[in-house]
Amino acid sequence: MSLMTEITIFVLAVFVGFEVISKVPTTLHTPLMSQTNAIHGIVMLGGLIVVGYADDPLEYVIGTIAIAFGTINVVGGFMVTDRMLGMFSRKPKPKGGADK
């Protein structure tokens, strides 16, 4: 991919990102942050790639830690977001005493 193609993608992604994320209500900003943490875990792809061409012990260690760090973000991020959003989508309990 040429540098200019990558810059094009980057600039368009900036606009898409601002457009989509500015519509997320304040109420959901904490789940948004943990979800973007999870999406940031995509850097584990970089870890997978560099471990592939690692050929000395230091590079093995660096790459493995990078994979582990990225995986923490992905797994922990998506799971904790799911847990939080479960609290928001919970059905309100039937209000027994409300209509007497």
Query: Using CB under 8 A, which residues numbered 35 to 94 contact another protein?
Result: 35-55, 58-60, 62-90, 92-93
Give the x-and-dash track for 1-40 against another protein (CB under 8 A): x-x--x--xx--xx-xxx-xxxxxxxxxxxxxxxxxxxxx
How many residues of this chain interact with another protein, rule: CB under 8 A?
Answer: 83
Q: Smallest distance from the beta carbon of 15 to another protein, in angstroms?
A: 9
- Amino acid (one-letter) located at 35: Q
Q: What is the DSSP string of 13-73?
A: HHHHHHHHHTTS-GGGHHHHHHHHHHHHGGGHHHHHHHHHT--SHHHHHHHHHHHHHHHII
Minimum separation from the CB atom of position 91 to another protein (A): 9
